Amino acid sequence: MTATRSPRMDPLTLEVVELIGEVVARYHQEFDEAAAEHGLTGAQARVLGLLSLEPLPMRQVAQRLKCEPSNVTGIVDRLEARGLVERQPSPGDRRVKVAVPTAEGRRLARVLRESLDFAREPLAGLSREERVAFRGMLRRMLGID
């Protein structure tokens, strides 16, 4: 009788997991280098990028970045001191403050996004159908409909 291998033990699955880890590590390395060129830490750049998508309270930023709210408060303080972010009352609850990027913060977030060639260049080499299929696989892995 032959035993069926668990997906965790499958060499192909292990290789794919290792490749995903390498892609993530290289993406973070390039992102951190791009951030440093603009005098930001990687964490500051990630917060700025997240806020450029939508203004958020610190607690939600922390949840999305999977860190403590007190860490986010310090990061937002430093971004605010550089004129990249400001705190404003939440439209839904004026007792809550949301972090909002300034025009310069939005510009810098866009510059950072556009400077990330590591993933963009290889993806551009794929056909539209391959990119759509790859996006579908990633969304499925993440449980996104």
% of the chain beyond a pLDDT of 70:
93
The pLDDT of residue 27 is: 86
The pLDDT of residue 4 is: 57
pLDDT digit string, tens, across residues 80-132: 999 999 999 988 888 888 999 999 999 999 999 888 877 677 888 899 999 99
pLDDT digit string, tens, across residues 118-139: 767 788 889 999 999 999 999 9
Class (C level, CATH) for 20-114:
mainly alpha
Distance of CA 88 to CAs 61, 69, 98, 101, 119, Å?
A: 15, 17, 5, 10, 34
pLDDT digit string, tens, across residues 44-64: 999 999 999 999 998 999 999
State yes or no: pLDDT of 2 exceeds 70. no
What is the pLDDT confidence band of residue 6, given thresholds at 50, 70 and 90? Answer: low
- The pTM assigned to this predicted structure is 0.77
Per DSSP, what are the bridge partners of residue 101? 85
